[in-house]
């Protein structure tokens, strides 16, 4: 079993829809939770960072963490064609140099 | 500010050839990483360097060697390339911003094909 599970999709939504992405994990030692966005033929870029259970909002993006269920989510409101990308969740243990990544979910927002 | 720069962008190798992927960061980060990305597998850590002068194996180190040349540079070497090493390789460094804790910043990637 992988440490981090993420549905690879692909996910296709119309412009303006809410995109919902999620990851589950098995190790309760993970304390820091990130979402990266990766455009085609580019490197991943950090989108959201959080370290506690609850919600964190940044513009149209909301990251949600439920440590008791070992479940993290990313919501994109009012999705735009420019949001079309692969979204990867990444988890980190305290005092660890390494991240554990999900496989990534490919999202297409149709104009 | 260039961030993390890696070269070459694209490379085709024959089985058994060797090559080195170069990486440099200008963010004064201590930690640097090499990942490979394959369809359906996500990002897998090959090697990392927690600080200048140290290197450690990640999940998939076999067939690779690394050198932390100085604080800025971290290279990845394939001594005898195999078709299984066809992949996209990402160099990364780790540092802190006002908005996040210590997290990882990636380069643009190097597309390697071994035939």
pLDDT for B37-71, tens place per residue?
Answer: 998 788 999 999 999 989 999 999 999 999 998 99
Q: A91 is written with which tokens? A: 């988890």
| Sign of the alpha-carbon torsion through A77, A20, A2, A9 | negative
Residue B58 with chain A: CB contacts under 8 Å: 98
The pLDDT of residue B83 is above 90: yes
Question: Cβ of B41: how many Cβ atoms within 10 Å?
Answer: 14
pLDDT > 70? residue B16: yes
A69 Cα to chain B: minimum distance (Å): 23
**Pairing, β B10-13 against β B110-114:** parallel
Which two three-digit tokens encode residue A36?
């990266």
pLDDT at residue B1 tops 60: no
| Residue in A79, A106, A74, A109 with CA at minimum distance from that of residue A90 | A74
Contact A43 B90 (CB under 8 A): yes
Rounded to whole angstroms, what are the CA distances from A59 to A38, A53, A56, A77, A87? Answer: 18, 19, 10, 9, 17
For residue A28, the distance in angstroms to the closest alpha carbon of chain B comes to 19
Shortest distance between the Cα of A23 and any Cα of chain B, in A, equals 13
Tokens of A15: 């412009």
Query: Strand, coil or helix: what is A66?
Result: strand
Per-residue pLDDT of chain A (111 residues; tens, 9 = 90+): 778 999 878 999 999 999 999 999 999 999 999 999 999 999 999 999 988 888 999 999 999 999 999 999 999 999 999 999 999 999 998 877 788 999 999 999 999
**What's the rounded Cα separation, in Å, for the pair B31 and B104?**
9
Chain A residues within an 8 Å CB radius of B44: 101
Q: Which residues of A touch B90 (CB under 8 A)?
A: 43-44
Burial degree of A40 (CB within 10 A; 0-12, 13-18, 19+): exposed
Question: Does A49 contact chain B (CB < 8 Å)?
Answer: yes
């Amino acid at each position: 079993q992988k440490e981090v599970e993420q549905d690879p999709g692909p996910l296709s939504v119309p412009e303006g829809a809410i995109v919902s992405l999620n990851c589950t994990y098995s190790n309760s030692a993970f304390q820091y939770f990130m979402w990266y966005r990766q455009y085609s033929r580019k490197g991943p870029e950090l989108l959201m960072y959080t370290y506690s259970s609850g919600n964190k909002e940044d513009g149209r993006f909301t990251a949600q963490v439920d440590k008791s269920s070992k479940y993290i989510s990313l919501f994109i409101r009012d999705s735009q064609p420019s949001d079309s990308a692969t979204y990867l969740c990444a988890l980190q243990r305290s005092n660890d140099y390494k991240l554990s990544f999900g496989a990534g979910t490919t999202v297409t927002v149709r104009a | 500010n260039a961030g993390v720069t890696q070269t070459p962008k694209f490379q085709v190798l024959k089985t058994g050839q060797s090559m080195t992927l170069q990486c440099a960061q200008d963010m004064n980060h201590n930690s640097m990483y090499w990942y490979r990305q394959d369809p359906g597998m996500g990002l897998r850590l090959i090697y990392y360097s927690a600080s200048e002068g140290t290197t450690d194996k990640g999940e998939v180190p076999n067939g690779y060697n690394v050198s932390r040349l100085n604080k800025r540079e971290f290279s990845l070497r394939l001594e005898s390339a195999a078709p299984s090493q066809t992949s996209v390789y990402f160099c990364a460094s780790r540092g802190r911003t006002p908005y996040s804790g210590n997290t990882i910043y990636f380069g643009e990637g190097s597309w390697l094909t071994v035939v």
